[in-house]
Amino acid sequence: MIDVSDFLSISNVIQDVKETDPIIIAAVGTALLGVCAWSASILVSRRSKGDGGRRRVRVRRGKAAEPRVTQDALGPLVDAIKPHERQILGDDLARLIDRHRNKRFLAFVVVTRTNVNPFTFAFLYQALRAQNRPMTEVHEFQVSVRDANELLRACVLKQPQA
């Protein structure tokens, strides 16, 4: 009959560990550490989710928010622009809005120095995004599609009739 105590003796285990190559011990230790870290990360990620998927939030339906920029507010700004600059602004806005139609569910058009006329860039930044930051530091900014459409309508309405 085989005695199990001979196989599980602590002194035999210690002797086997002493005879094992240190590289093998390091590899096994690293593998065990990796498995423990991976298991802990899964446990933490599952606990952090909590009951987030079970809660239901009611969304209040209401009328759409009014645009920040209206044709009445833009009237004096657009009137101050020369007719040929108004045409440039309108063309740039139409091109930006047309590019936006290729993207789904985006509420903003991106205005960069390279995709519009310098006059358009300066006008849009001063009229819609004026902040304490100097315009020379700004290379791109976002304009809501709704504001861009309102501004385009104002430009089109102010065009001289031929």
Residue 162 confidence (pLDDT): 46
How many whole angstroms separate alpha carbon 148 and alpha carbon 154? Answer: 10
Q: Which of 22-31, 42-51, 143-152 has the lowest mean pLDDT?
A: 42-51
Is residue 137 in a domain?
Answer: yes
Residues 42, 117 within the same domain: no
Residues 40, 97 within the same domain: no
Is residue 64 in a domain?
Answer: no
Q: Which of 8-12, 56-60, 92-96 has the lowest mean pLDDT?
A: 56-60
How many whole angstroms separate alpha carbon 115 and alpha carbon 108? Answer: 15
Residues 38, 106 within the same domain: no
In this predicted structure, the answer to whether residue 2 has a pLDDT above a threshold of 70 is: no
Residues 79, 147 within the same domain: yes
Is residue 62 in a domain?
Answer: no
Question: What's the structural domain count of the chain?
Answer: 2
Angle at 142 between CA 137 and CA 147, to 5 degrees: 130
How many whole angstroms separate alpha carbon 106 and alpha carbon 133? Answer: 26
- Neighbouring C-beta atoms of residue 153, cutoff 10 Å: 16
Highest-pLDDT range among 23-27, 30-34, 49-53, 56-60: 30-34
> Is the overall model pTM greater than 0.85, yes or no?
no
In this predicted structure, the answer to whether residue 31 has a pLDDT above a threshold of 90 is: yes
For 47-57, what is the mean pLDDT? 60
**122 vs 6, which has greater pLDDT?**
122
Residues 43, 75 within the same domain: no
Question: Which of these, 76, 102, 83, lies nearest to 156 by C-alpha position?
Answer: 83
Is residue 122 in a domain?
Answer: yes
Residues 80, 147 within the same domain: yes
Per residue in 85-120, pLDDT (tens digit) is 888 888 888 888 888 776 766 778 888 888 888 888
Per residue in 117-156, pLDDT (tens digit) is 888 888 888 777 666 677 777 788 888 888 888 888 877 7
Residues 85, 129 within the same domain: yes
Is residue 88 in a domain?
Answer: yes
Is residue 85 in a domain?
Answer: yes
Cα–Cα distances in angstroms (integers) from residue 116 to residues 95, 110, 121, 123, in the given order: 9, 10, 6, 11
Residues 153, 78 within the same domain: yes
Give the residue numbers spanning the domain of 8. Answer: 4-49
Instruction: Annotate 37-63 with DSSP letters as a single string.
Output: HHHHHHHHHHHHHTTTTT--------P
- Neighbouring C-beta atoms of residue 101, cutoff 10 Å: 9
Is residue 61 in a domain?
Answer: no
